């Protein structure tokens, strides 16, 4: 299984979070596929492609915006060559609605299982899990209807991601997801920050934090009964992890660097 | 020991949070002292006084705005008659700078130990603990310098309060306090909501939530080393408790009502 990289959006192309991806591309065969599918912008992914090309990597910016394209054997063949796959930001439902169940989706999962790096920023990070937050609002406390969920692309079944986390004050919707199913581990990624998943280990790199909300210790919540006001939830274990920290999903413990990584 | 009531600010005079205080006043000798000390407004406390008077309670709005007044034996004698004491909102440093160590402060502690109810809203809630948040900024993650601490009026040594909690996005500064000293239990009270402390039990009443952040389970944090960026903190147990919930400070467990209390 390759690395999974969940970036929190607004990632500086010359920053520490992106450097982790660039290094992984170089180490992983130098062949990179970019999927701009989440975005409605015509030039989505072009700037990253330029940076990657400048670094001497071979880049394919795949024009996949329809299910027909996502089932095009030629495009699928190109993706199969990639040692690293990057999904841009935009709308996560564009990604899942376009890719879900297609040949390209299957090829992505196969490539990842065979060792390819799969990275995404913002919407591209949201879709990495089996269940994702599709829509939602801001706020620190869980409320009925605060978020809507949708099936993601399913690289991980045990986690749920959120992005622009601190910048958009999204703890409430992550807690809301845990109230729905405390078996999930919530991973909230700040902007310009990446959560690098290597099997059971989550490594944090970048200018912000990764907030991990663990529902395993949950004692009580009333999400099934509440129709308005706030949802009560008791016993969420919270970790705010900065660059250089590592979280072990198996043991649910974190190690925090005493001297933080430089993020310049 | 009497009840302690920490209100999160913006408390509706006809709402459920204030009703808890009104009921306690009626049950506790009907004699209420209001301290407008935190406020710079000339009419602070007057509206509450009118509501209490209308309910048939005997109200003394004590004009304490200087240490001289806080040592005035006549004002102290009036406070000693009160079965309930209420501190208005404003600036918590006005309260502590004016009352700290005075005869009135001693009388408040004695009255509370003898059974008087002590309530405060916003700044009046902040000062209830031995260490309080004096200043601070918003945000969900702890950062160096996010809050400054000051000695409070010392009714509780094991807790630290914050107020306007959800409305002003203050989880970060409560986590920052726990990073400083994980022995504390952080109690963040939303607006129009009260945390009623009855010995080791914390009862929640009102329109919002009381967020309890428990540092006892803390595994790691680097607040002592970090000078800029974000503070990492791992292992905070979080409880978002709505009206009708009860938290046991001794066992660190919460009970959540399946059917929430009506807060109309």
Lowest mean pLDDT among A64-68, B10-14, B137-141: B137-141
| pLDDT value, residue A260 | 54
| pLDDT value, residue B264 | 45
Which residues of chain A does B209 touch, with a Cβ-Cβ cutoff of 8 Å?
141, 230, 232
For A4-247, CATH gives 3.40.50.880
Please state, in angstroms and rounded to a whole number, the distance separating the CA atoms of residues A186 and A183. Answer: 10
Would you place residue B261 in the very low, low, confident or very high pLDDT band (cuts 50, 70, 90)? Answer: low
User: pTM for the full model?
Assistant: 0.90
Asked if B230 and A208 come within 8 Å (Cβ–Cβ), the reply is: yes
Query: What single-letter DSSP state applies at residue A232?
Result: -
Would you place residue B154 in the very low, low, confident or very high pLDDT band (cuts 50, 70, 90)? Answer: very high
Contact B239, A233 (CB under 8 A): yes
Q: Which chain B residue is nearest to residue A165, measuring alpha carbons? A: B140
Would you place residue A225 in the very low, low, confident or very high pLDDT band (cuts 50, 70, 90)? Answer: confident
- Give yes or no for residue B260 having a pLDDT over 60: no
Residue of B232, B243, B261 to mutate when probing chain A, most A C-beta within 10 A:
B232
Catalytic residue, candidates A39, A105, A129, A191: A191
Q: Which residue has the higher pLDDT, A172 or B263?
A: A172
Shortest distance between the Cα of B174 and any Cα of chain A, in A, equals: 13
| Phi, psi of B164, deg, nearest 5 | 45, 40
Shortest distance between the Cα of B13 and any Cα of chain A, in A, equals: 19
Asked if B233 and A211 come within 8 Å (Cβ–Cβ), the reply is: no
pLDDT in tens, A70-86: 999 999 999 999 999 99
| pLDDT value, residue A257 | 85
CATH pick for B4-250 out of 3.40.50.150, 3.30.43.10, 3.40.50.880, 3.40.50.970: 3.40.50.880
- Give yes or no for residue A264 having a pLDDT over 50: no
Instruction: Say yes or no: B238 contacts chain A, CB-CB below 8 A.
Output: yes
Where are the domains positioned within chain A?
A: 4-247
> Which H helix or E strand runs over A62?
none
Average pLDDT for residues A160-188, to the nearest whole number? Answer: 95
Instruction: Say yes or no: B225 contacts chain A, CB-CB below 8 A.
Output: yes
Which residues of chain A does B255 touch, with a Cβ-Cβ cutoff of 8 Å?
220
């Amino acid at each position: 299984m390759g690395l999974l990289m969940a970036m929190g959006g607004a990632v500086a192309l010359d920053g520490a979070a992106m450097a982790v991806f660039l290094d992984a591309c170089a180490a992983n065969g130098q062949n990179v596929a970019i999927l701009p599918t989440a975005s409605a912008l015509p030039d989505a992914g072009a700037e990253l492609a330029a940076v990657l090309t400048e670094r001497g990597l071979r880049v394919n910016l795949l024009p996949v915006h329809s299910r027909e394209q996502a089932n095009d054997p030629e495009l699928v063949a190109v993706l199969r060559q990639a040692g690293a796959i990057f999904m841009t930001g935009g709308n996560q439902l564009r990604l899942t609605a376009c890719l879900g169940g297609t040949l390209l989706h299957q090829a992505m999962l196969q490539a990842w299982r065979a060792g390819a790096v799969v990275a995404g920023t913002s919407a591209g990070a949201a879709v990495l899990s089996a269940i994702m937050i599709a829509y939602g609002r801001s706020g620190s406390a869980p409320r009925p209807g605060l978020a809507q969920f949708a099936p993601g692309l399913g690289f991980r079944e045990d986690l749920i991601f959120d992005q622009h986390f601190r910048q958009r004050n999204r703890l409430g919707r992550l807690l809301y997801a845990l109230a729905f199913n405390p078996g999930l581990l919530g991973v909230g990624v700040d902007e310009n920050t990446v959560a690098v998943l290597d099997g059971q280990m989550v490594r944090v790199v970048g200018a912000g934090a990764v907030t991990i909300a663990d529902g395993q210790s949950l004692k009580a919540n009333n999400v099934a009964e509440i129709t308005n006001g706030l949802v009560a939830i008791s016993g969420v274990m919270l970790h705010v992890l900065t660059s250089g920290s590592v979280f072990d999903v198996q043991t649910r413990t974190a190690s925090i660097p005493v001297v933080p990584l430089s993020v310049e």
